[in-house]
A and B are shown apart, each in its own frame.
Chain A
Amino acid sequence: MNENIFTIHALPKLNAKYSLGDLDVRAKFAIAICYAISIAIAKTPGAFFLASVLPVALAFTLSNSSIRTLAKINLLNLFMIATMILTFPDFHKGFKAALILTLRLNFTCVVFAKFFETANYIPDAKFVPEKIRVLLILTIRGIFVIQDCLHSSILSVRMRARNLHGVLKWKVFAYVIASSILRSEARSEKMLLAIKMRGGFAGFEQVRELNWKFSDSVICVLSGIYVTGIFLA
């Protein structure tokens, strides 16, 4: 058994086994943004067709979880479609706009879903500012801490007053939220201290060795040309 597989230096080699794994995460991000922008700026039918070629091709390679997410997004989009058809001055204009919106939404989501499928985990990458990375980690943990505090507060409120109505209900709700945030702050401070004592955030970027290559530059330039072409079409 190869023991090197468990070291952090082996990770880029493992990533390279996947089809898009040998590209730098920054290049992947730039390409995804380029394609998403090209979908957003395409105005003429020709430009829209050109911009939709890659997302349609990528749609067939999506994982099951991404397809499920896409279905959920389309379900939420139904409300927007109905609003557009009912509120636009002309029914045909509204229907056309709703159709374009649905296509744009799906194409953009396919591009980003593929990016996240191949990029794995983003916050450890060096190009994300450290404060944002720390904020993201603490926010995710904070959700569970506040949820825990809220749960105990709501239980104690229900034990004291089961039926709250009117303004009193909102007053209690506001106090419960505010007190939960204050109580959670102490726990989050401890959490930050624990993270710092385990080595802080300084070493996290070692997990992903960013390595910008010539091929990354080429593919980014090509994507830039593609967007410019769609903008001019």
Chain B
Amino acid sequence: MHISEGVLSGGALLTGWACSGVGIAVGLKKTEPEKIVRTALISSAFFLASLVNVKVGASSTHLAFLAPMGLALGWGIFPAVFTALILQAFLLQFGGLLVLGANTFIMSSAGLAAYLLFGKIISRAKNRVMIFTFAFIAGAFAVILGAFLVGVFLTMSERNFLTTAKIILLAHIPLAIIEGVVTGFMITWLRKISPEFLEIS
């Protein structure tokens, strides 16, 4: 889901930085000092998730935890993703510094959308099956939305990227299912064991 350095045009880069700048500013303002440890930990988990390879047929991909991040942090997802992506760019050479704005916006807004759309439904759901179902949909939706936004940024830079964007979207479907299952189990467990950990509660 990381866009590489040099791919995006000036306009797309500017759009990415402007959108993520607003998100980071709002996220930092909404993150209270006592929640900064939680934000850092989830940021660390996001970094570590990129090291976990998931076999999909002959190829492999990695988890992103976009929906769990959104459901646990709300708007705080923007600074969390931003710091994790800085570390990924330096240590793992994923993405880059100039495209950091676009990558932050893509991943954070996918997680934030999952929080805004499914947060209240998950917090009101009473039984475990309902929580799992909505968390599964939130997890899968966040991945698909992220892949769609990657496509939007690529097509914004160069119209010929349309086929690449379609391939990226299709390639993320197996990951969306796996991420949905993991998100479902994770959120169901967290709602039961430590509901205060989630922003939705």
Residues 54-102 (chain B) with a chain A CB within 8 angstroms: 65, 79-80, 82-84, 86-87, 93, 96-98
Minimum CB–CB distance from A10 to chain B (whole Å) comes to 28
Max chain A Cβ within 10 angstroms of own Cβ: one of B5, B10, B48, B158: B5
The answer to whether B5 touches A109, judged by C-beta atoms less than 8 angstroms apart, is yes
Smallest Cβ-Cβ distance to B179: which chain A residue: A170
Q: Does B45 contact A (CB under 8 A)?
A: yes
User: Which residues of A have CB within 8 Å of B96?
Assistant: 105, 108-109, 112
Known pairs A89-B160, A143-B44; A174 contacts B185 (CB<8 A):
yes
Q: Which of B31, B80, B93, B186 has a CB less than 8 Å from the CB of A178?
A: B186
Q: Does B36 contact A (CB under 8 A)?
A: yes
The answer to whether A87 touches B164, judged by C-beta atoms less than 8 angstroms apart, is yes
User: Which residues of B have CB within 8 Å of A112?
Assistant: 96-98
Q: Which of B31, B37, B182 has a CB less than 8 Å from the CB of A185?
A: B37
Interface bits A105-130 vs B (CB < 8 Å: 1, else 0): 11111001000000000000000010
User: Which residues of A have CB within 8 Å of B7?
Assistant: 80, 101
The answer to whether A170 touches B182, judged by C-beta atoms less than 8 angstroms apart, is yes
List the one stretch of A71-79, A157-165, A213-221 in contact with chain B.
A71-79
The answer to whether B48 touches A131, judged by C-beta atoms less than 8 angstroms apart, is no
Q: Does A197 contact B (CB under 8 A)?
A: no
Q: In the assembly, what is the distance between CA of A106 and CA of B4, in Å?
A: 11
Interface bits B17-39 vs A (CB < 8 Å: 1, else 0): 00000000000100100001111
Residues 149-180 (chain A) with a chain B CB within 8 angstroms: 150, 167, 170-171, 173-175, 177-180
Minimum CB–CB distance from A220 to chain B (whole Å) comes to 18
Q: In the assembly, what is the distance between CA of A101 and CA of B157, in Å?
A: 12
Q: Which of B44, B65, B184, B194 has a CB less than 8 Å from the CB of A139?
A: B44
Max chain A Cβ within 10 angstroms of own Cβ: one of B7, B8, B98, B163: B98
Total CB contacts across the A-B interface at under 8 A: 164
Q: Which of B98, B167, B181, B189 has a CB less than 8 Å from the CB of A175?
A: B189
Known pairs A80-B7, A105-B4; A142 contacts B43 (CB<8 A):
yes
Q: In the assembly, what is the distance between CA of A39 and CA of B47, in Å?
A: 29
Minimum CB–CB distance from A76 to chain B (whole Å) comes to 6
User: Which residues of A have CB within 8 Å of B194?
Assistant: 182
Known pairs A77-B4, A102-B6, A170-B178; A184 contacts B28 (CB<8 A):
no
The answer to whether B10 touches A185, judged by C-beta atoms less than 8 angstroms apart, is no
User: Which residues of B have CB within 8 Å of A77?
Assistant: 4
Q: In the assembly, what is the distance between CA of A147 and CA of B48, in Å?
A: 8
The answer to whether B28 touches A129, judged by C-beta atoms less than 8 angstroms apart, is yes
